[in-house]
Structure 1
Amino acid sequence: MTAATSRREAGTPASLDDMTGLTPLVATTMCPEPRHVFQKLREEYGPVAPIELEPGINAWLVLGYHEVLTVARQEQTYSCDPTDWSVYQAGRLAPDSPVRPMMSPYNNAFFTNGERHRRLRAPIDGGIATIDQRQMRRAVAALCTEVIAGFAARGEADLVADYAAVVPMLAIADTFGLDAVQGRALYLALQQLYAWQADAAAAHRRVMEILAEVVAARRATPTKDLTSFLAAHPNLRGDAEIYDTMLLLIVASNENTVNWIGQTLRLMLTDERFGGRLRGGRLGVDDALDEVLWRDPPFTNAAARYAMSDVELGGQLIRRGDALILGLAAANADPRIHTAGETWSEVGNRAHLAWSAGPHACPATIPAWLIARTAVETALHQLSGVRLAVAPEEVAPVASSWTRGPASLPVRFTPADQP
């Protein structure tokens, strides 16, 4: 019995900071089956469970579908601004804290509330609405073909490192008007930044340099890209808000889409229900994309909300300044919303919380779907006889507390003829 359980059974509401022996948040992602971890937490705590973000830093993991909706929709009660977090206010986050990249304040819509959030969100919604979906589909298809050509003759590849981790960043960079060199430089700098190691500060400077370079170029010569749109938008006041808004769109879109592509390819290569004509499966790409959003959404856990006052949620006393992590995958697996057992293949059902909900729901679901669907279809079509090169159970998840995409996806296929 943990100390947290003992106090709860004794009826004494403990401070979140005082709880020990908690399940680490990373246990919900770096495990063979997250549903088993969710079930154990539900049995012990109910739909809201205390978890350990890192040693000495705790938070609440919101597991329940309805509880996630409550937190996501009530921004006056649950703030998105990390400066409302008691841990941040007390300066308890170490410089190399692994949660710092996801739970530090930025000058963009994700980390703000109320009127400021609406002011910063409007340019994002407006910019995404300007994207020509047909043109984007053609550009992504050409990009996928180009990337595949780089390894097609080998007869083997890692469909994460060689493909899923490359295509979204280059596709997103293109919508911002970055050329291939800038796109790859940004991709490398962001990898270093979110590893949050000793070179993170230098990586952040490099990211800002690249963004400043493209903003300056678009101010001098505006074009029909997202950078030109954001740089000229009256709602964005100063370069800091422009850069951080660009960074939010690029990072969130890339991370979501990389994991969505990787998980869908994994599913189609390992589950006999899928694969269409490749293996005689009865379900296709769209079905696999939907199932991933329910069972293994791109973000398993979404950071974060901060209680603005003492409040009860899911039977727990949440104190002012406590952090709450939105368990998107856990909410999708909430047994209270599944009435017929395991109903994961809910084809066409968009009630999942993969993109969160409320005023901070993901605004870029259509571009993400275009990139993911095109990438999966192109790979399965162009890689003849593609098959997983390891046993399915050997496909390990990426090391993260937030996401659960495959770290690698080694495959073999019939080598393409050299031109």
Structure 2
Amino acid sequence: MVPPSRSLEDFTDLVSLAEVNQRDDPQTYARLRGRWGEVAPVELVPGIPVWLVMGYQEIIQVSRDERLFSRDSRHWRYLGKLQGSGSPLALMMTPQEHSHFADGEKHRRLRAPLDDGLEGLDEHRTSRATQAICLGLIAKFADRREADLVTEYAALVPMLAVASWFGIGTDDAGRLMEAMASLFVPGQDPRPGMEIMQQILSGLILAHQEDPVDDLTTALLRHPNYHDASEVTQAIVQLLAAGQEATVAWIAQTLRLILADSHLGGRLRGGRLGVEEALDEVLWRRPPAANIANRYALADCEIAGTRIRKGDALAVSYAAANTDPRVHGDDPWLEIGNRAHLAWGAGPHVCPAQRPSRTIVRIAVETVLTRLHDLRLAVPAEEISTAPSISTVCPAGLPVRFTGFS
């Protein structure tokens, strides 16, 4: 257990958050719990420590209490050091003018248009568009009878699908995806990527102002909560960025577990488990957004016996919470249909796009399983590595073979 009087600066030789994700092993959290309790010191990047909150109830406490824990990283005493480190994470954690970084009344004002707009999405139209995207991607590799289901499929479906909500075409969606990816390449100047994003989104906003159509861009432009087009642009960036990495990971992790885990794959093929239930099992066992550093202490406080100082950053570990022995049993059958996991977050910042994201992932997984015949891994399961990330757990690649398609 962490002595209550010790601060983050007192610890050395800490495991990095990226290493925790890379291991993708529930036992990693068990070992951290055994050493530190429900709150463990870890490194975000070398020389920049954060608290990793692992307990289910403790994460709910942190996520719900806006009086003590802010989403605005300007309250973090290490923000300046991170910005000067050259780490690509600096751009990700520098506050922007959208609801992700806001608290209280400002958050509620900026969040309401997202909730209203996403609630108004036509589910049938979303399903048809996603199905067409999935089939179009499969058509590009179907004749080869082999593919990488991460780089050629899972990494592409979410951006193309979410872009369609806003009326963004396939070509511009591809350019946006490349531009966003370029922002987080170590040593690469992010300005060209930001200019491409600004060009595409400015054109999108202008076109919708001149000729409104029935889509999410128009819904956001018409919402009274937004003061100007800049706030609409920020909201679009937020949805495109927030949904991409985690949704890619959810698709890829589900396909990996179905193909590599005889327990899950056997139950699915045997009809004892549906795709919807399989998606929930993945959210319990391997939540895509495993560890998210996005809370900052507004005052000295205590969590599970650990003293937190004002200005400390906290990373909430949804992966650890879902294995918390106080809430998670040993019998996997008891979890079927149980959606009490924290994969979507908790509190005011709970994910606003749960329903459409689930639709995208379900269709992406079902399309692969039903259209590719005799689908199997092309390499031993133990050779599948995890892509480097401080937040998501996603296979770096998923090479497969199949005998035909329909």
CA distance in 1, matches of 2:267, 2:326: 36
Shift of 1:91: 4.5
CA 1:344–1:57: 2 relative to 1, 3 Å: farther
1:360 CA drift (Å): 0.2
AA partner of residue 53 (structure 1): L
TM-superposition CA deviations, 1:285-329 (whole Å, max 9, x none): 122201111111110012310000000001110000000001011
- Counterpart pick for 2:373 among 384, 394, 413: 384
Give the partner amino acid of 2:102.
Answer: T
Structure 1 position 274, deviation (Å): 3.5
Q: Call closer, same or farther: CA 1:280–1:178 in 2, change over 3 Å.
A: same
1:96-107 equivalence runs, <5 A: 96-107=86-97
1:159-198 alignment, distance < 5 Å? 159-198=149-188
Aligned partner letter, 1:19: F
Counterpart of 1:201, as a letter, is R
Runs of 5+ in structure 1 lacking a partner?
none
Pair 1:413 & 2:405 matched: no
Equivalent-residue separation in structure 1 for 2:109 and 2:269 (angstroms): 49
Q: How does 1:12-411 map to 2 (within 5 A)?
A: 13-31=5-23, 33-88=24-79, 90-94=80-84, 96-275=86-265, 279-280=269-270, 282-338=272-328, 340-341=329-330, 343=332, 346-411=335-400
Moved more, 397-406 or 342-351: 342-351
CA distance in 1, matches of 2:182, 2:188: 9
SS of structure 1 residue aligned to 2:273: coil
Letter in 2 for 1:241: E
Identity of aligned residues (%): 46
Are the counterparts in 1 of residues 38 and 55 from structure 2 also a CA contact under 8 Å? yes
1:138 Cα deviation after fit:
1.4
Contact preservation (8 Å) 1:256, 1:368: no
Shift in Å at residue 98 of structure 1?
A: 3.5
Amino acid across the alignment from 1:117: H
Alignment CA distance shift 1:17-1:35 (3 Å): same
d(CA) in 1 for partners of 2:294 and 2:51?
10
| Cα separation, partners in 2 of 1:137 and 1:416, compared to 1, 3 Å | closer
One-letter amino acid of the counterpart of residue 75, structure 2 = D
Pairwise CA distance, 1:150: 0.9
- Counterpart amino acid of residue 126 in structure 2: M
Paired amino acid for 2:377: L
Tell me, in whole angstroms, the C-alpha distance in 2 between the residues paired with 1:169 and 1:393: 29
TM-score (norm 1): 0.93
Q: Offset of 1:253 from its aligned partner?
A: 1.5
User: Which one is further off, 248-257 or 310-319?
Assistant: 248-257
Instruction: Give per-residue Cα distances to partners, 1:17-51, cap 9 Å, x unaligned.
Output: 342111111121111x4212111111111001111
Amino acid at match of 1:299: A
Q: Mark the CA change 1:278 to 1:402 in structure 2 (over 3 Å): closer, same or farther.
A: closer
Question: Do the aligned partners of 1:273 and 1:282 also contact (CA within 8 Å) in 2?
Answer: no
Compared with structure 1, are the counterparts of its residues 196 and 76 closer, same or farther at alpha carbon in structure 2 (3 Å cutoff)?
farther
- The letter for the 2-side match of 1:147 is L
> Which amino acid in 1 is paired with 2:18?
V
> CA RMSD, aligned part only?
1.9
**Normalised TM-score (structure 2):** 0.95
CA deviation profile, 1:231-266 (whole Å, cap 9, x unmatched): 232212233322221111111112221111101111
Counterpart Cα distance in 1 of 2:85 and 2:333: 40
Contact 2:88 2:183 survives alignment (8 Å)? no
Matched-pair contact (CA < 8 Å) for 1:26–1:401: yes
- Pair 322,277 (structure 1): closer, same or farther in 2 beyond 3 Å: closer
Residue 344 of structure 1: how far off its partner (Å): 7.4
Q: Is the CA contact 2:82–2:90 (under 8 Å) kept in the aligned structure 1?
A: no
Indicate if the aligned counterparts of 2:142 and 2:404 stay in contact, CA closer than 8 A: yes
